[in-house]
Amino acid sequence: LQRRRNKHLTADDIYRALVEAGEDIGLATVYRVLNQFEAAGLVVKHNFEGGQAYYELDSGEHHDHMVCLETGKVVEFVSEEIEKIQKEIADRHGYDIEDHSLVIYVRPKT
């Protein structure tokens, strides 16, 4: 995860990278460690459409995601305009935003 800082990786991706690097490790161990890292706040787990969990290092900085339905590619983005609109909507309904997650599912333009 550290070497692929801006990537969203599955447990299988991480397992394959470790095996290719010569590590003697099992997939169950990768899942166990990822769960421990998530509990410790070191990684963030995302369950995007398709049911597969993706992990990324917790940068501490908010960002949203676009997920391509054809390729599975995950794109991180930050939009002050979207953040402002979400705050306005919460204010209008009498709420303060504590946290939120925005995932936009996309297809390539034809």
33: domain CATH number is: 1.10.10.10
Phi and psi at residue 18, in whole multiples of 5°? -70, -40
Co-location of 1 and 54 in the same domain: yes
Domain identity same for 90 and 100: yes
Q: Identify the segments of the chain with pLDDT beneath 70.
A: 1-6, 50
- Domain span including residue 31: 1-60
Together in a domain, 56 and 69: no
* Phi/psi of residue 57, nearest 5 degrees: -65, 140
**pTM as predicted:** 0.70
- Give the per-residue pLDDT at 71: 87
Instruction: Retrieve residue 85's tokens.
Output: 């609109």
Same domain, 95 and 48: no
